């Protein structure tokens, strides 16, 4: 059985009792008069939702869920819903939640809210209008309404943030509000990490500081939509798993991650857990034919920023989630994944790709030896055959064979350990603890001014791919991020030399073709 994650089109599955429950004091939902429908599309009715003195007008069709009444509700950002209160530490989420984000809101007090270092926070003083939301690759932003001491975390669709912007613009502060300044991000001392998960408060600062997350591991691992609480992780110490997959961000991550902080990562690492950080990237249908590689590179940059914020260091394997897709998207997906890998290597991280064996893995196998494809360091194949090993009929024996595989062998399973039940996917991991990063084996080093800025740049040939790379000089004794200037075939060239051989004022490259002995001129531009 091949693993296919469900997309966001699933029907709303919230218990009727949650939606019809009597709301506590300070939390009100009522219909608004037709004339007050500014936050909705033309002709669409709205209702007013109030929480702790903050009122917002949302479309009447939206669900409203009181998380204080139902703390184990899965906070999903792929549904038009207003969640009131703090997301629970142990949400009951299905495992299959990779999809397109919808317009949705999480409204909660400053006090007790989870740290969200991955989000830009906009502070709005009492009486001020909400400014335009900052651009976000994760399609989320947090607004701090200081007049009520309330955060509103808004997710939006990939096409536009206009709908949630209108809702936020409708905000008003009334009776029951408690004004408070927007909290400042914690400034931990060097080497220390502040604990924000109540269950982790007993962990010592020294243990957290010394815990470096490890993504190298051989054995069983599980992944869940939302990172479990520290209490749940402690309960699962009795399980057969010592690895855990976590979704660190991305435009198609639709489970709220209230537990996932740097302190959580440090505590689980200190407890001996090995982590598989996953970035929920753009899916096949959303990849641009004209900029697929660029989108993959941008995803890698976003993933590295998120990973570093959680305490991951260079040499970490970062996985991009590429769900099953039809064959018509093959070229776009491979270009996207090639960009993902190339940029991660430039940033000194290792690359991993999670996909269905019958689509993404099969296509990467077909491109494995292509000079135009930057293949990932680790292949994570979803093939639900219930066999806990890293063998896969879609992957030839010599491919990703040096401790470079993960196999998701079962999924959508409910397991209980230590009294805690979680919905998980099961995996078997065989990934090297450490591997050389950004050491591809370079040869034919030479120097010249190839970008016309008057500073000498370094050029070199990558032995494994035959690509020619330029490392821009900065004039300060360091080199900038490398740029590919020759797409394959350069490992067949030797004796590279630089000079202005056509007298146009620009440095050119000359090289000898090893197979023929011919001398070739490559004019600089």
Q: What is the DSSP string of 41-108?
A: PTT--EEEEEETTEEEEEETTSEEEETTT-TT---BTTS-EEEESPPPTT----S--BS---SEEEEE
- 406 pLDDT more than 70: yes
Instruction: Return d(Cα 295, Cα 388) in angstroms, integer.
Output: 34
Query: Cβ contacts of residue 92 below 8 Å, gap of 6+?
Result: 72, 73, 74, 423
Pick from 73-82, 133-142, 234-243: least confident: 133-142
pLDDT digits (tens, 9 = 90+) for 115-143: 888 888 999 999 899 999 988 888 999 99
**φ, ψ for residue 59 (rounded to 5)?**
-55, 140
Distance between first and last Cα of the chain? 52
Write out the two tokens for 510.
């000359």
Pick from 111-120, 184-193, 458-467, 505-514: least confident: 184-193
- 4 pLDDT more than 60: no
- Strand-pairing partners, residue 47, are 31, 58
Residue 479 DSSP one-character state: B
- Strand-pairing partners, residue 443, are 461
Residue-averaged pLDDT of the chain: 85
Q: Answer yes or no: are the C-beta atoms of 383 and 407 closer than 8 Å.
A: yes
Determine which helix (DSSP H) or strand (DSSP E) holds 264, and give its type and residue range. helix 262-270
Model confidence at 188, pLDDT cuts 50, 70, 90, reads very low
Give the E-state strand segments of 250-348 in sequence order: 274-279, 317-322
Per-residue pLDDT at 150: 96
Query: Cβ contacts of residue 343 below 8 Å, gap of 6+?
Result: 296, 297, 300, 301
- 255 pLDDT more than 90: yes
Per-residue pLDDT at 473: 87
**φ, ψ for residue 191 (rounded to 5)?**
85, 0
- Most confident segment among 75-89, 190-204, 502-516: 75-89
pLDDT digits (tens, 9 = 90+) for 323-362: 999 999 999 999 999 999 999 999 999 999 999 999 999 9
Write out the two tokens for 89.
């530490």
Per-residue pLDDT at 365: 97
Exposure of 301 by Cβ count < 10 A (0-12 exposed, 13-18 middle, 19+ buried)?
middle
Among the listed residues 25, 47, 21, the one whose alpha carbon sits nearest the alpha carbon of residue 34: 47
Exposure of 414 by Cβ count < 10 A (0-12 exposed, 13-18 middle, 19+ buried)?
exposed
Among the listed residues 139, 138, 481, 99, the one whose alpha carbon sits nearest the alpha carbon of residue 302: 138
Helix or strand or coil: residue 174?
coil
% of residues, the chain, pLDDT over 70: 85
Instruction: Return d(Cα 520, Cα 489) in angstroms, integer.
Output: 13
Write out the two tokens for 317.
């394997």
């Amino acid at each position: 059985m091949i693993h296919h994650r469900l997309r966001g089109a699933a029907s709303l599955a919230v218990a009727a009792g949650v939606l019809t429950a009597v709301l506590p004091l300070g939390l009100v939902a009522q219909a608004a008069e037709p004339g007050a429908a500014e936050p909705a599309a033309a002709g669409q009715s709205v209702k007013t939702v109030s929480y702790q003195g903050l009122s917002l007008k949302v479309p009447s069709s939206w669900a409203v869920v009181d998380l204080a009444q139902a703390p184990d509700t899965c906070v999903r950002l792929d549904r038009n819903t207003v969640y009131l209160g703090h997301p629970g530490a142990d949400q009951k989420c299905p495992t299959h939640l990779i999809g397109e984000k919808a317009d949705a809101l999480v409204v909660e007090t400053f006090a007790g809210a989870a740290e969200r270092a991955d989000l830009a926070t906009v502070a709005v003083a009492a009486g001020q209008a909400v400014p335009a939301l900052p651009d976000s690759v994760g399609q989320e932003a947090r607004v701090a309404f200081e007049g009520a001491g309330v955060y509103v975390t808004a997710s939006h669709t990939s096409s536009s943030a206009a709908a949630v912007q209108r809702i936020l613009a409708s905000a008003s502060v009334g009776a029951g509000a408690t004004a408070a300044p927007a909290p400042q991000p914690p400034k931990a001392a060097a080497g220390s990490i502040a604990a924000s998960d109540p269950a982790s408060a007993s962990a010592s600062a020294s243990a957290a500081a010394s815990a470096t997350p490890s993504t190298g591991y051989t054995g069983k691992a599980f992944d869940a939509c939302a990172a479990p609480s520290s209490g749940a992780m402690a309960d699962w110490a009795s399980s057969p798993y010592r690895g855990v997959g976590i979704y660190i961000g991305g435009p198609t991550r639709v489970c709220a991650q209230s537990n996932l902080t740097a302190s959580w990562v440090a505590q689980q690492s200190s407890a001996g857990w090995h982590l598989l950080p996953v970035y929920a990237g753009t899916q096949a249908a959303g990849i641009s034919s004209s900029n697929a590689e660029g989108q993959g590179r941008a995803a890698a940059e976003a993933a590295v920023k998120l990973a570093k914020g959680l305490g991951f260091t260079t040499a970490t394997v970062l996985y991009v989630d590429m769900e099953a897709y039809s064959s018509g998207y093959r070229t776009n997906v491979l270009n996207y994944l090639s960009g993902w890998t190339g940029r991660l290597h430039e940033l000194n991280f290792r690359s991993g790709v999670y996909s269905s064996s019958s689509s993404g893995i099969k296509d990467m196998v077909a491109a494995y030896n292509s000079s135009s494809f930057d293949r990932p360091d680790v292949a994570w194949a979803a093939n639900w055959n219930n066999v806990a090993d890293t063998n896969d009929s879609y992957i030839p024996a010599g491919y990703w064979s040096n401790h470079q595989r993960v196999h998701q062998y079962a999924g959508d399973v409910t397991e209980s350990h230590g009294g805690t039940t979680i919905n998980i996917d099961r995996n078997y991991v065989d990934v090297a603890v450490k591997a050389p990063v950004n050491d591809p084996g370079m040869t034919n080093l030479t120097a010249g001014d190839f970008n016309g800025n008057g500073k000498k740049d370094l050029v070199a040939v990558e032995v494994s791919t035959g690509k020619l790379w330029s490392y821009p000089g900065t004039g300060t004794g360091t080199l900038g991020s490398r740029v590919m200037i020759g797409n394959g075939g350069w490992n067949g060239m030797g004796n590279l030399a630089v000079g202005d051989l056509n007298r146009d004022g620009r440095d050119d490259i000359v090289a000898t073709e090893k197979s023929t002995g011919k001398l070739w001129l490559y004019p600089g531009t």
